[in-house]
Structures are given as C-alpha cells and as structure tokens.
A and B are shown apart, each in its own frame.
Chain A
C-alpha cells in the first residue's frame, strides 16, 4: 500500500517565480494538510483540504494557495517566491479529524 507521494523531491526556483507542488494521499485518506518546515524547526501548518475545499488555514499569506481534486490528491501553489520560502514542504494525509497523519517525504524548495 503506497503511502503519501510527493513530487518533485527537490526544486530550485528564482525569486518572484511561481511553484506548484503535488501530493497523492495514502489510499483511504480523504483529508490533506500541507506544512512548511524550515531547517531546525517543527512543521508549520499552511492549510488543510477536505472535500475539495480549504477547511482551515494557518498564518501564511495569500501567495500560498492550494487545491484538492476529486481523487483527493492535492496541489500547493506559491506565487511571487521569496528567499524565505526556502524550506521543506510536507504533505500529510489522514482519515479524518483527530487521527494521526501519514506524511510524505517532502519537497525541498530552494529559492535563489
């Protein structure tokens, strides 16, 4: 049974560019959350998707947006990239509220 799959694994972008990261949740999971993890820190919640809608959002600017598709897969889009957006972006899926997450291995984004 495949877990959470994220693509790409690594990405280098220039300031001001836009990026799209992709996530396929674990089979049977309908809820997808995105996290940003800076080096040396815990993951920071970006937003959560359920039934193709953003259900809750963390303290991230509108440059961060997302989407969930009918097959539960999800995308994270970041516009007008800043150097400070360089981080590991983690996708996590779960079977509902108050269930533990299954995380993907993340996408390492470097903005230069």
Chain B
C-alpha cells in the first residue's frame, strides 16, 4: 500500500504503554478541533473531537486535551496496541469558516 508521511515526526511506544501525541494549532479563532488517524492506503478516520468551550473529552481509550491559552491540543491513547500504529493528524475549524485545516501529522509506531 501507499506510504503516508515518510518524514513525519515520529513517536515510538511499547505495546501496553500510554501514548501522548501533541499538536500546536495556529489560530486563536478556531473553535472546533478533531483528531484523525490515517493508516497506510486509507483515508483519515475520525477519532475524537472537542469544542472550544471544553478543555477535556474522553472516548474509548482516547482522551483529547485542549489548552486554548497556549493553543495546544493533545491526544492520549491508553494501553497502546499494535493496531494503533498509524499517522495521527490534528485538525481545526475556524469560527465562521467551513473548512477543516490539518496539521502535518505524527507517525506512531507501537513496538510489540
């Protein structure tokens, strides 16, 4: 399949450990944030989202934290599994706009 992100920032974790992927977003006017997972040969897959009136949101094994003061977003994956290996993108929607802007991505490697 295709290779996505040959020269992306990389995070390598041991299976079973927790992963934290960080993202700095660009615009203080952004009011909706999303994390996507992209596996080789596939389109991005929605993981979790958060709106600007929240600072934390939890899903199944994933948590997103939003710090609007420093324009920082993080994705925490609990008990990381080999199937979590992929490229992860943070994305933002700006208030009043329609488009979603993607960051550069982080490649997560999970060691068995």
Contacts and interface: CB of A to CB of B under 8 A. Distances in A.
A58 B100 CA distance: 10
Contacts of B36: 101, 103
Contact of A55 (B44, B46, B98, B103): B98
A71 interface: no
Contacts of B97: 56
B32 A105 contact: no
A39 B43 contact: no
Q: Which bucket holds chain B's interface residue count?
A: 20 to 34
> Which of A33, A45, A98, A104 gathers the greatest number of chain B CB atoms within 10 Å?
A98
Contact of B4 (A39, A92, A100, A102): A39
B81 interface: no
A4 B99 contact: no
A97 B34 CA distance: 13
Contacts of B8: 40
> Which of B7, B31, B34, B43 gathers the greatest number of chain A CB atoms within 10 Å?
B43
25 contacts: A33-B99, A33-B100, A37-B4, A39-B4, A40-B7, A41-B5, A42-B102, A43-B44, A43-B89, A44-B102, A48-B98, A50-B98, A55-B98, A56-B99, A58-B99, A90-B43, A92-B43, A98-B31, A98-B32, A101-B44, A102-B46, A103-B43, A103-B44, A104-B43, A106-B43
B70 interface: no
Interface in A27-82: 33, 35, 37, 39-45, 48, 50, 55-56, 58
Interface residues of A, number: 29
B100 A103 contact: no
Contacts of A106: 42-43
Given A39-B3, A42-B105, A88-B2, A101 B99 contact: no
Contacts of B102: 35, 42-44
Contacts of A48: 98-99
B65 interface: no
Interface string B74-112: 000000000000000100010001111111110000000
